[in-house]
Amino acid sequence: MKTQNTIPVSTPAKLSFLKLAIRSLLFAAVLTVFLTDKRLVLDNVYTFQNSGAWLLAGIWLFFVVEMAARLFPLKFESIGSQKQFASHFVRRDTGTSLPADVKKNHRKSVILVAALWIALNAGIGALFFTGIIDEAVLLIISLFFAVCDIVCILFYCPFQSLIMKNRCCTTCRIFNWDFLMMFIPLVFIRSWFTLSLVALALTVFIQWEIQYFRHPARFCEETNGRLACAACTENLCRWKKTVSLPGRLNK
């Protein structure tokens, strides 16, 4: 019998570590440029015009590819983001209607997460419009959020542990909110570079919410057998503990 340490690292897990490395490098690169000559960041936020253009162009291309891929069913992506698609739905005997307690928890938790994130970013916006921080800092904040996003998947997620109470990322109700949450600070910058990222992130978010509205059973382990622990091939819980609650399916 394989132990947790001898189970091979899955493709989605490897991809998550790769994303963590790339996002961390992008964050570190922008922070370094900001500390040495922040004009290289500020000027290129609005129009690519100096030696710092390659860095922002790389950031834009990397995240555009990531977000575009999220719109389609892919075998190598995590089931957490892919459960919205029919190809990842295995109907349980319980039917296709969400249990009342699950539906209630989803509703309460998403409202709370949305309210907290809007409040946080309203504060960031206030700092920007009062001149305390500038466009370069907004970009750095977004990239910091991008790094934290993968940390939440691999190691610890405060939303999961403190608010959502979902067993793991596989069953996360807001998995595909990630890009919109990380790029909201960029909405305060009126440029094609920032607004194109926000627009694509919003597209990913809207697709996710439409799928949840039309096919809620795909998002719940009580109705989708593909989300059960027994069906898991990602084993991300080898680095991050699952959240166990009374009455939850953990098999």
Tracing tokens 């910091």 back to the chain, one arrives at 144
Residue 141 counted as domain residue: yes
**CA nearest neighbour of 193 among 39, 46, 53, 41:** 46
Is 75 contained in some domain?
no
Residue 43 falls inside a structural domain: yes
Expressed as residue numbers, the domain containing 176 is 11-67+100-238
Q: At what angle do helices 135-154 and 53-70 cross, to 10 degrees?
A: 40
Whether the pLDDT of residue 250 is over 50: the answer is: no
CA–CA distance, 78 with 86 (Å, rounded to integer): 15
Give, in order, the Cα–Cα distances in Å from 37 to each of 53, 142, 202, 237.
13, 19, 32, 41
Higher-pLDDT residue of 54 and 50 is 54
Give a yes or no: residue 206 inside a domain. yes
**Angle (CA) 161 152 35, round 5°:** 130
Instruction: Answer for the pair 12, 170: CB distance below 8 angstroms, yes or no.
Output: no
Q: Residue 98: name the closest of 4, 16, 214, 244 by CA.
A: 214
**Residue 72 covered by a domain:** no
What are residue 228's phi and psi, to 5 degrees?
-70, 155
Residue among 168, 114, 131, 150 nearest 22 (CA): 150
* pLDDT score for 232: 87
What distance in Å separates the CA atoms of residue 235 and residue 162, rounded to the nearest whole number? 22
Residue 83 within any structural domain of the chain: no
**Per-residue pLDDT tens for 93-122?**
776 677 788 888 899 999 999 999 999 999
Residues in the chain: 251
- What gap in Å lies between CA 144 and CA 23, rounded to an integer? 9
What angle do the packed helices 39-46 and 135-154 form, to 10 degrees?
90
Tell me which residue has tokens 């419009």: 129
Question: Is residue 77 a part of any domain in this protein?
Answer: no
Secondary structure (3-state) at 91: strand
Domains identified in the chain, total number: 1
* Predicted local confidence at residue 129, as pLDDT: 97
Is residue 81 in a domain?
no
Looking at residue 247, its pLDDT comes to 42
* 66-77 per-position pLDDT tens digit: 999 999 999 889
Span 190-209, pLDDT tens digits: 999 999 999 999 999 999 99
What six digits make up the tokens of 142? 């977004």
- Counting beta carbons within 10 angstroms of the beta carbon of residue 131, is it exposed (0 to 12), middle (13 to 18) or buried (19 or more)? exposed
